[in-house]
Structure 1
Amino acid sequence: MSTLSGYQRELSLPLILGIHEDPPWTTFMRTLVNQTYARRAFLVITLANAMASQEPAVVHVAAGRAAHEPPLDFMRIAAMGLNPYGLMRPGRVYALEEMLDHSNAAQRDQQREALNIMGIHYGRWLRISAPCFADAWMLLVREREDFSSFASSLLSSIIPHFAAALQTFVALSEQRLSSAMAHRALERSGIGQLAFDSNARVIAADPLAETLLSFLPEPGAMAGRRLQVRPHVAVALETACAELAGGPADRRRLIRLDIRDGMNMLLRPSDLNLGKFVPRPSVIGTLKIDARDISSRAVQILSELYGLSHNEASLAYGLATGESIGEAGRRLHLTSETARIYSKRVYAKTGTKGQVDLVRMVMAGLAPFA
C-alpha cells in the first residue's frame, strides 16, 4: 500500500498543474503511462455545456518505445461497437474483454481483429464523471502482456482525484469564458484596464492593455511587473497609487503616459469584491483609445431598434462616434441637404432632440457592443 501511495503522490502534482495545460493533463497522462507500463493512451474530455457540434478534447500520449507509432484512433475505436462509453459505470476500471460485444460472437471476433490490427492486445478503460460538469474517458493499451493488478489498482485510486480536478477545470473554464466576454465588450469600446498594488506593480492587465502598453519584470524576487514608461511618469504613477490605495472611493488621478501619443490613464481606488482569499488590487487603471468604427453590425442593431433605414442607421452611428453631418453624408455619398434630411428623420424616429442627445442614446445602448 505504501508503494501505491508513492505512485499516487507522483501523480498529484501533474494532476493539479494539468488543469492549466493546453491540452489539459498531458503531463499527467505521460506519468500515468510510465507508471502503468502502458504503450499508448488517450484521454477524452466532453463538457456538459458544450455545443453539439463541438468535438471532444482528446489528449494522445505514447511511451518512449512507441513514440514512432501513430496515436490511438479515438473515432475508429468508438465506431467498433464496443461497450458504449456512456453506459460505462463511472469509477470502475474495465478490461479489454469487458468492452467486447459478447452477445454476438461474429461481432466480438471482428472487434478483436480490428483492435489487434491497431496493436491493442490488452487495454484498460475507465470513465471519470463530474456530474453536471464533464465526463472523461481514458484508454491505456499494452501489446505483449496484460496490465498488472498494481496498475489496475493505481488506475482505480486516481479516479476520485481526477473527478475533482475535472470539476475544477470546468469551473475555471467558465470563469475564463466570463472574463473573455467582459474583456471583449470593453475592447470593442476601446477600453483597457490594469490592476495595480499600492506600489504601482501591475497585478493584472486585460488583453487590450497588454497590446497597448509595454511592461518590465519586477526586479528581484518580487512578483508582478511594472509599466515601461519614462522615469517621471513612473514616479507620478507610484505616487498616485500610494495616495489612492485605501483612500476615499471617489478619488481619481489622471496619469499622462505618453503626451506624443495622447495615451492617458485614469486611476481610481479598487472596489472589486473578490473574496477573502484572493489578492485584491489597490488601484484600477483605465485606458481609452479611439475605437470609432462604422460597424455594419452596429448599424444593423440601430436599424432594428428604431426602424431606421440602412443609410439612416449608418448616419446615426457616424454622428454618435464623432462624425459631423457633412462627414457622415460624404461617407454615404449623400448631398449636404439630403444628409440633413436624414438626420431629422433619425431624431424623429429615435425620439432624440439633437446630436448630443443622439450620441447619449446610441453610446448608452447595445450598438457599440454589436
Structure 2
Amino acid sequence: MAITRPDETDLLLPLHDGAHEQAPFTLFLQRLKRRVRADQAVLAVRAGQGEWRWLDSRIAPPPDQDHLTALRAHRVYAEEEGGYARLIRVDEPGGAAAVLVIRRAQSDFSAADGALLARLAPHLAIALRTRAALDHAATTASVVERAVSAGRIAWASFGADGRPLARSEVFAARGGSFGPIAADVAACVAERRPMVVSLRPKEAAAMLLIPLDLPRTPLATAPVALGLMALNAGPGDDAQPALLAALFGLTGSEARLAAAIAAGATLSDAATQLDLTIETTRNYSKRLFAKTRTRGQVDLVRLIGASPARFALGPFTPPAESEEGGSRPE
C-alpha cells in the first residue's frame, strides 16, 4: 500500500515536524489513530541500551522491556492478547529506537493498516534520528550551562551587529541588561583582541569581550564575539563553603569565613557579614589557617582559587560542630 497524497499531508508532515514538538510526535499519533480507526496510537522509545518508556507518560502499565527489545526493525507484528494490535520497530544510527503501536479493543486491523505502518517506518526512523540529535544537543547545552555556572561564569554571544544571539541563564538572571555595544563588538573583532565593556555604567559590572572565529553553518548565524562575566556568590549561596568544608575538614563557621575571605573580605568585613565579633572571627581564622596550612589571607585566597572549591555545586549542609569548635565525625 503506497502512501497517498492525503497521507503525505495528514501523516508525513506532522511526523517530521513532530521531532521539534515539546511533546514529540503528538499530532502525528493523533492523526494516525484517526487514519486507521484505532483506539490508541502510541510510541515506546529508548536511548541506547536504556529502558523502553512510553512517550505519553499517562499510559500504564510500562512497556514490556524484553518483548520490545526482541522485535526486529521494520517488520510489522500482529498481536491479539487483550485486543488487537500492530507494532513496528525502527532504529537510528546513534542507538535510539522506537516502537510504533496501534491498538483496537473490538476488531482487528486490515492488511492495509499494517502496510501503512511499514510505509511509515523509514520516515519514522528519520524523524527519530532528528529528535535524538536535538535531545543530544539540548543535553550537551545543559551540561555546558551547568559547568560555566559552577565556575561562576556568565556568558553571551554577539553577532556582527552587536546584538546578543544567545546568553546563559545566569547571565540573563544576574548579568542584567546592557546598552548598545555594536561599536565595542566591531572594535573587538577588527582588532582581534579582548576588550573590557561596561554593562551598567552606574554599577561595578563589566564584561570581557573576546573575538570568535567559528566555522560557518548553512542555517545558523555564527557569533563573532563572546562576552564573559565573573559572578560573585549571591545572598544565601552556600555552595562554596560546602566544598571548602569537605576539602579541608572545616566546620560550617570556618568554611563560611574562608568563603568570605576568598571573595575579598577583610576579617572585619567578614565579621560583619557573618554576624560575628572580631575576636571570634580572629579565632576562627587561626583555626582556618592551621587546617589549610596557609600563612595568611593571601595564601588562603591562592589556595582556594587553585582548588575545586572555586566551583559552586549543590546545596550546603555544614558539618556538625562540637563544643570545642571542631568537626564531629559522622
Task: Place the TM-score, normalised by the shorter chain, in its bin.
Answer: 0.7 to 0.9
1:313-334 superposed Cα distances (whole Å, 9 cap, x missing partner): 2221121123332343456665
Q: Deviations over 1:241-262 (max 9, x none)?
A: 22223x34423141x3433354
1:38-66 superposed Cα distances (whole Å, 9 cap, x missing partner):
3322222222365x7xx834238xxxxxx
Counterpart contact for 2:2–2:116, Cα < 8 Å: no
Alpha-carbon spacing, 1:2–1:158, altered in 2? closer, same or farther (3 Å): closer
* SS, match of residue 56 in structure 2: strand
User: In structure 2, the residue corresponding to 1:24 is in which secondary structure?
Assistant: coil
CA deviation after TM superposition for structure 1 residue 21, in Å: 1.5
Task: Tell me if structure 1 keeps the 8 A contact 2:96–2:129.
Answer: yes
Instruction: Give the one of 278, 282, 287 matched to 1:340.
Output: 282
**Could you say which residue in structure 2 is the equivalent of 1:58?**
55
- How many Å separate the matches in 1 of 2:150 and 2:227? 18
Contact 1:8 1:158 in 2 (8 A): no
Which residue of structure 1 aligns with residue 268 of structure 2?
A: 326
Q: Distance in 1 between matches of 2:134 and 2:228?
A: 25
* Residue number among 171, 179, 185 corresponding to 1:241 in the alignment: 185
Q: Residue 112 of structure 1 aligns with which residue?
A: none
Question: Do the aligned partners of residues 257 and 308 (structure 1) sit closer, same or farther apart at CA in structure 2, a change above 3 Å counting?
Answer: closer
* Residue of structure 2 in register with 1:369 after alignment: 312
- Cα distance, 1:144 vs structure 2: 5.4
Q: Per-residue displacement from partner, 1:292-311 (whole Å, max 9, x unpaired)?
A: 45644432322232233433
Number of residue-to-residue matches in the alignment = 311
Distance 1:95 1:206 in 2: 49
Query: Counterpart of 1:298 in 2: which secondary structure?
Result: helix
- The residue identity in structure 1 corresponding to 2:91 is S
Contact 2:3/2:119, CA 8 A, preserved across alignment: no
The aligned runs of 1:344-359 (5 Å cut-off) are: 344-359=286-301
Shift of 1:184: 2.6
Note if contact 2:2-2:119 (Cα within 8 Å) is conserved in structure 1. Answer: no
Match of 1:91 among 50, 74, 79: 74
TM-score under structure 1 normalisation? Answer: 0.70
Secondary structure of 2:97 counterpart:
strand
Assess, with a 3 A threshold, how the Cα gap between structure 1 residues 293 and 360 changes in structure 2: closer, same or farther.
farther
**Conserved 8 A contact 1:192-1:208:** yes
1:48/1:83 Cα in 2 relative to 1: closer, same or farther (>3 Å)? closer
Which AA in structure 2 matches 1:33? K
Contact 2:32–2:41 at 8 Å: present in 1 too?
Answer: no
Q: Which runs of 5+ in 1 are unaligned?
A: 61-70, 101-114, 116-120, 215-226
The residue correspondences of 1:95-114 to structure 2 (distance < 5 A) are 95-97=78-80, 100=81
8 Å Cα contact 2:76/2:88 also seen in 1: yes
Once the 2 structures are TM-superposed, how far is the Cα of residue 9 of structure 1 from its aligned partner? 6.5
Alpha-carbon offset, residue 152 of structure 1? 1.4
Which residue identity is paired with 2:149?
E
CA deviations over 1:16-41 (Å, ceiling 9, x no partner): 33222222111222232233333322
Q: Is 1:150 aligned with 2:112? A: yes
Cα distance in 2 between the residues matched to 1:313 and 1:253: 33
Closer, same or farther: CA 263–333 of 1 in aligned 2, 3 Å? closer
CA distance in 1, matches of 2:269, 2:188: 42
Partner of 1:284: 226
One-letter amino acid of the counterpart of residue 117, structure 2: L
Quick one: percent identity of the two aligned structures? 29
Equivalent pair of 1:188/1:291 in contact (CA under 8 Å): no
Instruction: Provide the residue aligned with 2:194 in structure 1.
Output: 251
User: What amino acid does structure 2 have at the position aligned with 1:25?
Assistant: F
CA distance in 1, matches of 2:94, 2:125: 12
Matching residue's letter, 1:24: P
Picking from 146, 163, 173, the partner of 1:184 is: 146
> Bigger CA drift: 337-346 or 195-204?
337-346
Instruction: Give, in angstroms, the shift of residue 84 of structure 1.
Output: 2.2
**Cα 1:129–1:74, aligned 2, differ >3 Å: closer, same or farther?**
farther
**Contact 2:94/2:129 (<8 A) preserved:** no
In the TM superposition, what is the alpha-carbon distance from 1:199 to its structure 2 partner?
A: 0.8
